[in-house]
Amino acid sequence: MTAAHNIKEALKAALAALSISASEVPLEHPAVLENGDYSTSIALKYAKELKTTPRALAERMVAALDAVDGVAKVEVAGAGFVNFFLTNAAVAEAIESARTKEWGRGSINTGKKVMVEYTDPNPFKEFHIGHLMSNAIGEATARLIEYSGAEVKRANYQGDVGPHVAKAIWGLRKLTLDPTDAAALGTAYAAGASAFEDDGSARAEIDAINAKIYDRSDPEINAVYDAGRAASLAHFEDIYASLGTKFDFYFFESETAPEGLQLVAAHPEIFVKSEGAVVYQGEKAGLHTRVFITSKGLPTYETKELGLARMKAQKWPFDQSITVTAHEQSGYFEVVIAAMREVFPDLAAKIKHISHGMMRLSSGKMASRRGNVITGESLLADLTEAAKERAAESRADDTEALARQIAVAAIKYQILKQASGRDIIFERDRALSLEGDSGPYIQYTHARAHQVVEKAREQKVSAKIDAAAEATELSRLLHRFPEAVEYAVRELEPHLLTNYLLEFASAFNRWYAKEQILDGTPAAAHKVALADAARSTLKNGLWLLGIPAPEKM
């Protein structure tokens, strides 16, 4: 059993001995290691009730506490905290685990089946930095859940029908652009979108195209559509590959639309006629009304979402289906989930929406029809370019590949280091930074650890853990890794892991600067083991964030 578990049990017993009935024993990591490896503030909570001071209660608790396996010292500190310090052997055990097991893997989701849907770009439109954000958060979320024992399937839902497609096709025809050229599609969409807003006859033409996309009655439009769709999807596939995402399932709005229409038609008591459209009256759930079928008889995104939910469940029966999108869709999702609760309550209970902030420019919101969109690939290309210079001076065998890995790390880290509820103000210079609190910093730390372990191997210095070796800042932080992973999983907040990883990397670099690992003494064996454990921690941590971990930089 883990030290944390032992401490909790011992505390519960001590509290019972003092006849305090605490339903929960809070145990936390003190912010500074001087205050121990674990700490509880429970004495502060119950002192008043027992008409004593927190410190006095804490002293009594410590006196009533049995010896805990893995704990070397218990002390009362500050206002009445009880602090626990791990034994050197317990910390050494973590070093051992880090080197031999799937370090950090948990079991809180064992046996669960979870589908995670993310990225969700729209064919015929750009893959912009917002999609990059959804991808980074979704991929990290999927990996975290997977690492906690669940079976995870990655899903991508792409809008291959709808007004945006009609606008792009209208633009392709007007400007006689090549539909097989992915870059031309963005231009075509921008032209169609602005014409739709400014020009009445263009709007009518686009509406007509939209209807034909759904019913596929016009061979010429079908040809343009099929070519453009294929080009778009192939283009996206390259981006997923460079980001390290591999989807298990692809869903398309062209498939979810008929499915959704069927569901809406089958429930006239839930979806009612209003002003020529078919709507769901969200007011009964404290929300707002949303249109499911337009007055032209076409399904909206809402209807498609309904169809999607059923299709997902048919494709792969899951315990939970998580959809990752930007905040702007939160209100929409609440209404759709409220409707689902009426249509299929059992399934609705398994659907979860996670929203994240928006990727914003300092100049305001991005909009593809205004043309101030930063595409995902242009950003990655810029970052790769910026990383090339450093990569060229590195020890990497393939500097081009390294530059790309660094670029992915830089952008993903920037997204994953902050709480997901907040907007990210995108600033080019900061995204291009390869130093300090950045993805490449963690990668560099990992590469250093990897190389020193390699060198030890070459010099035939074998790793050997000295259970009596004094626990250090680095080894004590290392011990926390599995808990940091679990915390991030419970909260479904990758940035909690990012924070930990930064702190850990920083501790490693401090240690590395101060301590010569291969110093020719018998102490080297333990230090090599610690370096190897750090390497494994950084490697697994980066993997969980979806960031590549090159071995040489």
CB of 9 to RNA, least distance (A): 18
292: amino acid identity, one letter: F
Residues 30-69 that bind RNA (CB under 7 A): 30-32, 34-36, 39, 41, 44-45, 48, 54
Q: For residue 180, give both structure tokens.
A: 């097989």
Q: Which residues pair with 153 in a beta bridge?
A: 115
Among 4, 7, 10, 81, binds RNA (CB under 7 A): 81
Provide the mask over 352-371, with x wherever binding to RNA is found by CB under 7 A and - wherever it is not: -----xx-x---xx------
Among 92, 383, 434, 485, binds RNA (CB under 7 A): 434
Least distance to RNA from the beta carbon of 180, Å? 22
| Given 152, 339, 387, 415, the residue binding RNA (CB under 7 A) | 387
The Cβ of residue 35 has, within 10 Å, a number of other Cβ atoms equal to 17
Structure tokens at 214: 């759904």
Any contact of residue 138 with RNA (CB under 7 A)?
A: no
Interface residue with RNA, options 97, 232, 321, 499 (CB under 7 A): 499
| Terminal alpha carbon distance of the chain | 38
Residue type, 416: L
Q: Which is nearer to RNA, 113 or 539 (CB)?
A: 539
| Cα dihedral value 530, 531, 533, 539, nearest 10 | 160
503's tokens: 């702190």
Query: How far does Cα 281 stand from its chain's mean position?
Result: 33
Say how far apart CA 234 and CA 22 lie, in whole Å: 58
CA distance 435 to 502: 12
| 435 scored as a contact of RNA (CB under 7 A) | yes
Q: Which of 441, 475, 536, 545 binds RNA (CB under 7 A)?
A: 441
Which residues, 6+ apart, have CB-to-CB distance to 115 below 8 Å?
152, 153, 154, 155, 249, 312, 316, 318, 320, 321, 322
Dihedral pair phi/psi, residue 78, rounded to 5°: 60, -135
- Least gap, CB of 151 to RNA (angstroms): 27
The C-alpha R_g of the chain, in whole angstroms, comes to 28
Provide the phi-psi class of 504: left if phi over 0, else alpha when psi is between -120 and 50, else beta. alpha
The residue among 16 and 367 lying less far from RNA, judged by its C-beta, is 367
Q: Does 250 bind RNA (CB under 7 A)?
A: no
Binding to RNA by CB under 7 A, coded x per residue (else -) over 258-297, reads ----------------xxxx-x--------xxxx--xxx-
Q: Binding RNA by CB under 7 A: which of 417, 476, 526, 535? A: 417
Q: What is the DSSP string of 234-299?
A: HHHHHHHHHHT---SEEEEHHHHHHHHHHHHHH-TTTEEEETTEEEE-GGGGTS--EEEE-TTS-B
Rounded to a whole number of angstroms, the minimum distance from the CB of residue 245 to RNA is 19
Phi and psi at residue 35, in whole multiples of 5°? -90, 15
**Angle 489-494-499 (CA atoms, 0-180°, nearest 5)?**
115
Least separation in angstroms between residue 317's CB and RNA is 26
CB 169 to RNA: min, Å? 14
- Nearest-angstrom CA–CA distance, 161 and 300: 10
* Closest distance to RNA from the beta carbon of 469 (Å): 16
Smallest gap from Cβ 479 to RNA, in A, equals 12
Q: How far is the CB of 16 from RNA (least distance, A)?
A: 20
Under the binding rule (CB under 7 A), the answer on residue 28 touching RNA is: yes
**Whose Cβ is closer to RNA: residue 152's or residue 456's?**
456
The binder of RNA chosen from 455, 523, 525, 539 (CB under 7 A): 455
Q: Which is nearer to RNA, 29 or 479 (CB)?
A: 29
Stretch that binds RNA, among 15-23, 85-93, 373-381, 514-522 (CB under 7 A): 514-522
Q: Which residues, numbered 99-128, are part of the site for RNA (CB under 7 A)?
A: 122
Provide, rounded to whole angstroms, the least separation between the CB of residue 159 and RNA. Answer: 3
| Residues 214 to 243 in contact with RNA, rule: CB under 7 A | none
Q: Which one, 118 or 152, has the nearer CB to RNA?
A: 118
The reply on whether position 156 binds RNA by CB under 7 A is no
Q: Is residue 518 within 8 Å of 530, Cβ to Cβ?
A: no
CA atoms of 490 and 144, how far apart (whole Å)? 9
Nearer of residues 152 and 160 to RNA, judged by Cβ: 160
